[in-house]
Amino acid sequence: MKRFFLTTLILFFALTSVHAGGTSLKAIITSTDGNTEELDVFIRENGDTDGYLSAGFSDDASHIYFLNTDGVTIAYPVDYIASIAFEKYTFEGNNQATPYSTDFDVAFSDDDETACTSVTEKITATETATNDYGDFVENFEDDDESKGTVTITWSGSTANVAFSPSSLSGTAAVVASGTAADVVIYASKKLDFVLKGSSSDGSLTLYSAKKCKMTLDGVTLTNSDGAAINMPKKTVGTTEYGGKTCYVVLNGTSTLTDGTSYSSAVSGEDMKATLFSEGQLIFSGTGTLNVTSRYGHGIASDDYIRIRGGKHNPVINISSVKDGISTNDYLLMYGGTVTVTAADDGIDVEKGYVAINGGRLTVNATDEGIMASYQGENDGTVDASINPSITIAGGLVTVTTTGDKGHAIRARRDITVSGGIVRATVNGAGSKAINADGKVNVTGGKITSMVNGLPIYDDEEADLSSAAAIRSKGVLTVSGNAVVALKATAGGGKGINSTGSVTLSGTPSVTIVTLGSKYTSGSSTSRARGLTADAGLTLSGTPTLRVRSLDDALYTPATLTVSGGALQAFSTDATSLRYTTLQHTAGWLAYN
């Protein structure tokens, strides 16, 4: 950005030194719409009794500038200012925070642990027409259909199956079989299953033609050659088993471990995870489930997975050699505490969306942390009804990835954050903390992202793929009272990189720090810019945008529009503000 001082006014002030403090000159600026802003435009600390303020107009007389003694420029449009008054005042202490300070940084806050909020689940009879009604185990228990209970107790190499009422035994409603500790059950009515005991070589295969409730009551199961609990589909005569809702209720601490191979899988039937169902999996209760995957995914569903909140607070810990959680239609989380450590993806929704409304989700993954991955069918067609987006409305989401070109949060369509707290750290080359093929829309909540990787050559793009805290291929908006703090530490690393426009409106706060310089590999160069907006940057309302970078702080090859708020851009080795056209009608700019 050009800085013009053709008309420059030098003002001299005799300032009085203050012990353990200093003297400041405050500009009281009244705008044409009647608003008043106070701006610390000049500082002198202990021992300095003389100072100066440099002020002036641009050569086209459209802006008035204040230049402080650190070389920071604060700019206001002339048409925005009705009057300016100056006031000298003293302050205590050796440091004075100023609105144009370049001494800002980005770090995770311990307060995040207690500051997160959740969206409340509602369980009412009026919701019988909605999908939610069928997700609640309370409604399963209260319906009029008679149910029985099947209790399975493992003990070493054996398992005991008990029925209540006892009349269930030997009826067509439930048939139990299997070898030693490998239990197989066919159920043609709604049943409660209670799993207890322990086996180092046991499993449950459940074929259920109706919804079921499964209470994991302190059970420990390890299967040497397959899934610990498998609920596949199967047709016997005219009865279709599998693909139905299973309410998984956690009571006490249970542990499930799969085998190092799935040699026990039945031909033509799916077995994908330590805990697998072809139907919906709804987790509730107040217990803990520890899942270890040595061959398949940790927990998988060919339908959807829901984790309950409210009075339910399930704790789920997953360690997986593949994906931690894999589901087809969607993942919905309202509460609980879920911790995933995965050698592949932490959470992958193959043909749907992720919605996190509450709870605490921690993911440590090599590749993708949380991903909505749908791009099309195997035959190349695309089902437009599938929405591979990610929304976060509440809870505490903490994601760390280590692999090259990995992402903490990755959506093939849009990413929306309207509440909760997101903390993302990506360490691999070319990695992105938040990456959307569509739009990124932040309307509330708090995002803190740390990016530590260098660029990597991308064969698909035939160019360097840079690390970035937020990458959007569509429009990026930040509004409401959202707080966004982004940091990239390595060469070529970017804060915000959007091929669309970037808009800040309302009262959000956005802070970006990039510490790396531009990165060159062969004939390719990756700039380490703080914020890149290919289709323009707009500030309206009273947002605060602070950017500190070794490279360009802010770059748009289009129009920079500021009609309110505060934009602070500081570059150490390049240009603080780089744009094609400036439209500055209100608010202020501070830059070096």
Tens digit of pLDDT per residue, the chain (592 long)? Answer: 333 332 333 333 333 323 334 455 677 778 888 888 776 665 444 444 344 455 667 777 787 777 665 667 778 788 888 877 766 544 333 333 344 567 789 999 988 888 777 777 766 554 444 567 888 888 887 666 768 999 999 999 999 999 998 888 766 678 777 778 999 999 999 999 999 999 999 999 999 999 999 999 999 999 999 999 999 999 999 999 999 999 999 999 999 999 999 999 999 899 999 999 999 999 999 999 999 999 999 999 999 999 999 888 999 999 999 999 999 999 999 999 999 999 999 999 999 999 999 999 999 999 999 999 999 998 889 999 999 999 999 999 999 999 999 999 999 999 999 999 999 999 999 999 999 999 999 999 999 999 999 988 877 667 788 899 999 999 999 999 999 999 999 988 999 999 999 999 999 999 999 998 888 887 788 888 999 999 999 999 999 999 999 999 999 999 999 999 989 899 989 999 999 999 999 888 888 8
CB 545 within 8 A of CB 565: yes
φ, ψ of residue 166 to 5 degrees: the values are -65, -20
The answer to whether the beta carbons of residues 497 and 470 sit under 8 Å apart is: yes
Half-sphere exposure of 389 (CA within 13 A, CB side): 16
Sequence-distant (≥ 6) Cβ neighbours of residue 193 within 8 angstroms: 149, 150, 151, 152, 185, 206, 212, 213, 214, 215
pLDDT, residue 41, reads 60
In CATH terms, the fold of domain 7-92 is: SH3 type barrels. (2.30.30)
The per-residue pLDDT for 136 is 87
- Torsion angle of the four alpha carbons 571, 580, 518, 544, in this order, in degrees rounded to the nearest 10: 40
What integer pLDDT is reported at residue 131 of this predicted model?
60
Rounded to two decimals, what is the model's pTM? 0.88
**Token pair listed for 483:** 């707080």
Give first-to-last CA distance, the chain, whole Å: 9
Distance between CA atoms of residues 317 and 267, nearest Å: 30
What pLDDT, on a 0 to 100 scale, did the predictor assign at position 52? 45
